[in-house]
Structure 1
Amino acid sequence: MASTMNQFAHLPIPLEDVMKATNNFHHDNIIEHGGVGIAYKGRLLWFGRLMEITARRFDCKHGDGDLEFLAEISALSNLKHKNLVSIIGFCDEIDEKIIVTTYEANGSLGQYLNSLNLTWKQRLRICLGVARALSYLHYEKGRDYAILHCNINSNTILLDVNWETKLSGFEFSIKQSVNDKDQVGPCEHTGTMGSVDPAIEKTGGVTHKSDIYSFGVVLFETLCGRKAVIQNEADRSLAQMAKYGYENGPLDDIIDPHLLNQILSPQSLLIYSKVAYSCLKEDPADRPNMHYVMAKLEKALELQLRGESIVRLFFSYFSIFFFFGVHHSCILIFNFYLYFYILFYSKVRENRMVKEI
């Protein structure tokens, strides 16, 4: 392993610095207890810059966790995307194996699934960010390998101070030739309870379609405001409930009630729910690829934003009538429409001239 780590020689951080940053791994700084260890928040002075960090302390007793530690470093050091968490460095000293990444101030999506503060528009943007990250992992032009994440769930989807998506949790990721991403690959960790692709049991391994199944579960978690496993209902699977709800309707019965009045475009909801359902298809071959999913989520967000614009326009008209009266309001609105008609007509003429050239 030492020879393998040589390629990451620019990333080591002394254990002393990590301990100082986290106040000796003080329990008040614990962010989460994860599957491979504990994550701490801290403030690290690195190259003259004070940084907010997350230090993931791997549980490596008896050699456990070594492969996961290396897998995450390998993935994060070689991948650069605005919707992926950024690695700062790592510590591999004595019996400590720690990965240091940027601290994402708003925690994980899993913390906000049933929150009244996370709007439908924000949820759409977060899910679109995950789709863009996965599309990049599964296929990026000019790269000869694909990354299968193998750990997609609402807790590995982090949110920065601006509520932008930062995908994390690469300790179980697998690198495959881009031509082999449809081929079944072995993986000891196959996902989180409720998010695991059921096809893995039949095939004995994972493909990029396993990530897509798990992301489908996240899409329904986000829409329904519930975790992948529904507690107090005999640990019922949300995926099963969502598929039944989609097939038998109406969807309103499973959607988080406080989101219903925020979804201002029925077409947006239709596109979103249809692509989420398609991700949960039993046969992996019937599931879409992530490029397709990303394009559909972009359309769903576009329609939602259009619906919100129409509502804002309606209230603007209402305010004009209220403050100026009917006569003056009609004149103002007529001028408003005339202005935009001229603007639109000028743009059409401009586009025609460009095409003719």
Structure 2
Amino acid sequence: MRQVEQAKEAQVKQIRQRKLATNSITRSDYKPNKKVIWVTRMEWVVEDSNVTGVVELKDTNKFEGWWRWWIRKAAAVVTVQNNLKHLMIRLNDIELATDNFSEKYKIDTLSNAFVYKAKLECLDKEYLSTIDWKNNDELPKRQYTVKIELIYVPSDEVYNKIEILGNCNHRNIETLLGFCKKGRDTILVYEYVSTRCFRDYLDKEVLTWEKRLKICLDIAHGLNYLHHEMDGQKRVIYHDLDSGNIVLDDNWVAKVIGFEKSRYLSTYQDDDALYLNDPVNFYYYTDPEFVETGKLKRESDIYSFGAIMFEILCGMTALVALSKGIWLDVSVWGWLEEGVINQKVARILKGENGEHNFMLKRGPNKDSLDTFINIATQCFAKKQNQRPTIKIVINELEKALSFQENNKDIIRMSLEDINLATQDFNCANVIGGGGFERVYKGEVAEKDGNGHYMIVAKKLDIRHGQGEKQFYNELQILYEYKHENIIDLVGYSDETDEKIIVYEHAPKGSLDKYLSDTSLTWKNRLKICIDFATGLDFLHGGGHGQEVVIHRDIKAANILLFEDWKAKVGDFGLSMISTVKRDTDYVIDHACGTKGYLDPLYLKSGFLTVKSDIYSFGVVLFEILCGRTTFTIHKLKGHLLPSFIKQVFKEGKQGEVIFHAIKDEIVPKSLTTFQNIAYQCLDNDREKRPTTKEILTELKKAMEFQVTRGQRFYLT
């Protein structure tokens, strides 16, 4: 036997010396009666009576038609049969396990295969590293629950898959237990995992953010094994990674399956790349540089993994996105460039399920989300040399998971503490309320025990099924939308079916109490308007990358005041987180809000946009100028404020509506600028109403006119 091997090696050496390598062997040199006489992973030798030659597998693209197919398949078959003898299973054993491939064992039908589930005794993979190539019958075996694929007329890719999986042993890679021939067909036997395909769960609530991170880490560890950690310095490029090639076991552990397109990297290559001449069609997961150049690298797998990460983030596959008219790769690049990718996080991950079972720990922690998006963005880079290695990806994903696991629900408060703060919700502490709520003031001890601080607790009445949705809306918005001009969330409690939200205390209360206060100067009134407009601009999507919030109940009573007349937006019980664009899109909804402030077009049609908030803000602006609420004006004039103001402007009597206490101090340019922008807010045509940014610009001009004129007067 040794003499035969020595003869083959000498023959190969002689061929190389004579330079009868690939370039000197033409298609005409090959005949169907040639046989493969020697195979390694990178080359194989054929012989007949006329010619013997060495062909490197990476060069088989030089052959055309069925010759290319025959060369590849012949090499693959012999490689598998020579190197993986220990995985060969007797056909008779498989037929007994499946009752001769009975229908009762069939679990799936593929385009080129039938799939069965059965119990079968196979090589115990735990002992693979200790095998000393004894007779198959002497190898350690155990019974597995298996998945059996009966593949009819298999391609060379199937044998490529057998060769790669036969050399893999990792918890995140599908386990190939064996194979056998059945005439022209091939049978593959795997350890049975699950029929749960990862892509089918992307839009399911069961996959919380923490589970998604763990699944990402599973996939990354599988890729790291293929790229760096296989036995014998083998390295594999997966080459066809997508969310359909990931399965989840009963414990939600992810395993990579497939491998038909996978390729070995030669340990002797200098640039760690394969150059493939096969035509490539671009789709969402495909490395764009590979499509352009044919250069396949491990970084190509990184790109595909980045594509999956964005599917995980958005909660939908590229195919589902395409069915909605969204090219996910193009969209992702656009969202990243615009800085709005955070806005595209799947709604099912944001902490509220269909039954309003709110859990602040369930959604992505900000640090976790930012870390995830950052590494996914690097993976999705268009150029291979801009992408990280899989080891770096793993490090970043572990950070993201750590942030999430350590994200404690620090704002959940005990009902006992809230009872203590409000003196068991004593009526003497009531400071406001509505149809389904009461608002109490209270005192909470500082954590260090030194003193107390004031809080406000809103307790909702949900006995009749009302108010619960209001609780979740408000809690969600206050938790996610942090801004200096939005009231701060201190805590919440949902113990014993109570629904309580705790806010920071606004020492001056609400604006409606100060409209007719003669001590509230025009300058401070402008400051309140600017503060509120700034908070509203943030909610309407002012460059922070989150979804739009439509307040739906803007009124003077919901503008909360602090020291130095700092103003914040309050009361989000009727608010809506919406995917509408800033200016054009709308939501169809039952009109709600407060009469006298409500957009008449919204009231009439149910069409809600951010411009509905603008109308309500216009009412508040004129209340501030007039020093009276819309209800007071209705009592005195018989009309709500919008109708009254429009009549006054029509008659050219704008100066008559100014609050008498501030009339003499207002600079004319400041007044004109303020009145013009406030009047635009009340336009019946939504398209003519300004945006929050335009309102802010004009209000700041009005303030500048007021301050500048005041300074001049003082100097003179």
State the TM-score bracket (shorter-chain normalisation): 0.7 to 0.9
Q: Deviations over 1:62-107 (max 9, x none)?
A: 2211110000010011111111100011111223211000000001
Give yes or no for contact 1:184–1:204 (8 Å, CA) kept in 2: no
Aligned to 1:13: 413
Q: Paired residue for 1:39, among 439, 460, 468?
A: 439
1:101 counterpart residue number:
503
**Paired AA for residue 150 in structure 1:** R
Match in the other structure for 1:72:
474
Q: Residue 401 of structure 2 aligns with which residue?
A: none
CA distance in 1, matches of 2:617, 2:454: 28
1:115 aligns with 2:511: no
Unaligned runs of 5+ in 1: 315-357
Q: Given residue 7 of structure 1, which amino acid in structure 2 is its aligned partner? A: K
Instruction: Return the letter of the residue paired with 1:245.
Output: V
Aligned partner (choices 640, 651, 661) of residue 258 of structure 1: 661
* Counterpart code for 1:38: R
Shift of the alpha carbon at 1:48?
A: 3.4
Q: Deviations over 1:26-74 (max 9, x none)?
A: 1221111234311111111253363210101112112211110000010
Q: Secondary structure at the match of 1:195?
A: coil
Q: 1:150 aligns with which of 535, 546, 552?
A: 552
Classify 1:217/1:297 alpha carbon distance in 2 versus 1 (closer, same or farther; 3 Å).
same
Q: TM-score, normalised by structure 1?
A: 0.83
Whether 1:198 aligns to 2:600 is yes
Is the partner of 1:101 in helix, strand or coil?
Answer: strand
Residue-by-residue CA offset, 1:272-301 (whole Å, 9 max, x unaligned): 000000000001111111110011001101
Larger radius of gyration: 2
- Which amino acid in the other structure matches residue 646 of structure 2? K
Distance 1:237 1:151 in 2: 16
Letter in 2 for 1:45: A
**SS in structure 2 at match of 1:268:** helix
CA contact (8 A) 2:591 2:606 kept: no
User: Where do 4+ consecutive residues of structure 1 move more than 6 Å?
Assistant: none
Q: Which amino acid aligns with 2:677?
A: V
Matched residues in 2 for 1:76 and 1:262: separation?
37
Relative to its length, the structure with more helix (as a share) is: 1
**1:244 pairs with one of 631, 639, 647:** 647
Decide whether aligned partners of structure 1 residues 253 and 79 sit closer, same or farther in structure 2, where only a CA change above 3 A counts: same
Aligned to 1:244, the other structure's residue is in SS state: helix
Q: CA deviation at 1:252?
A: 1.8
Give 2:635's aligned residue.
Answer: 232
SS at structure 2 position matched to 1:62: coil
1:164 Cα offset (Å): 0.3
Specify the code of the residue in structure 2 equivalent to 1:25: F
List gaps (5 residues or longer) in structure 2.
1-354, 363-408
| Partner in structure 1 of residue 458 of structure 2 | 56
Matched, 1:167 2:521: no
Q: Is the Cα–Cα contact under 8 Å of residues 120 and 262 in structure 1 kept in the other structure?
A: yes
* Shift, 1:142, TM fit: 4.2
| Mapped partners of 1:188, 1:89: distance in 2 | 30
Aligned to 1:257, the other structure's residue is in SS state coil
Q: Is 1:144–1:177's contact at 8 Å kept on the other side of the alignment?
A: no
CA shift at 1:141, angstroms? 1.7
Question: For residues 262-341 of structure 1, what are the structure 2 equivalents within 5 Å?
Answer: 262-263=665-666, 265-314=667-716
Q: CA RMSD, aligned part only? A: 1.8
Name the structure, 1 or 2, with higher relative contact order (CA <8 Å, separation 6+). Answer: 1
2:473 corresponds to which letter in structure 1?
A: A
| 8 Å contact from structure 2 (residues 634, 641) kept in 1 | no
Return 285-294 or 23-32, whichever deviates more.
23-32
- Structure 2 residue identity aligned to 1:4: F
1:4 to 354, 358, 366: 358
Give, in whole Å, the separation in 1 of the partners of 2:528 and 2:411.
Answer: 29
The DSSP-based 3-state class of the residue aligned with 1:155 is: helix
1 CA distance for matches of 2:448 and 2:422? 17
Distance in 2, Cα, partners of 1:238 & 1:54:
31
- Are the counterparts in 2 of residues 144 and 178 from structure 1 also a CA contact under 8 Å? no
Change (3 A) 1:188 1:56: farther
For residues 124 and 171 of structure 1, what CA distance do their matches in structure 2 show? 26
Distance 1:310 1:13, change over 3 A: same
Number of the residue aligned with 2:375: none
SS state at 2:487 partner: coil
- Provide the C-alpha distance between the structure 2 equivalents of 1:46 and 1:59, rounded to a whole number of angstroms: 29
Instruction: Tell me: CA distance 1:46–1:188, structure 2 relative to 1, closer, same or farther (3 Å).
Output: farther
Give the secondary-structure state (helix, strand or coil) at the position aligned to 2:629: coil
Q: Which moved more, 1:239-248 or 1:205-214?
A: 239-248
For the 8 Å contact 1:36–1:65, the answer to whether it is kept is yes
Contact 1:190 1:206 in 2 (8 A): no
| AA partner of residue 416 (structure 2) | E
- Supply the AA of the counterpart residue of 2:654: L
Contact 2:619 2:630 in 1 (8 A): yes
Displacement after TM superposition at 1:246 (Å): 2.2
Q: Partner letter of residue 23 of structure 1?
A: Q
Identify if the C-alpha distance between structure 1 residues 227 and 142 changes in structure 2 by more than 3 Å, giving closer, same or farther.
closer
1:218 is aligned to 2:602: no
Aligned residues: 313
- Greater shift, 179-188 or 92-101, is seen at 179-188
Identity %: 35
* Cα pair 2:487 2:570 within 8 Å, conserved: yes
Deviation track 1:319-355 (CA, whole Å, cap 9, x = no partner) reads xxxxxxxxxxxxxxxxxxxxxxxxxxxxxxxxxxxxx
Kindly tell me: are residues 48 and 35 of structure 1, through their superposed partners in 2, closer, same or farther at Cα, counting changes over 3 Å?
farther
Structure 2: how far apart are the matches of 1:70 and 1:250? 45
**Counterpart residue identity of residue 447, structure 2:** F
Matches of 1:180 and 1:288, distance apart in 2 = 11
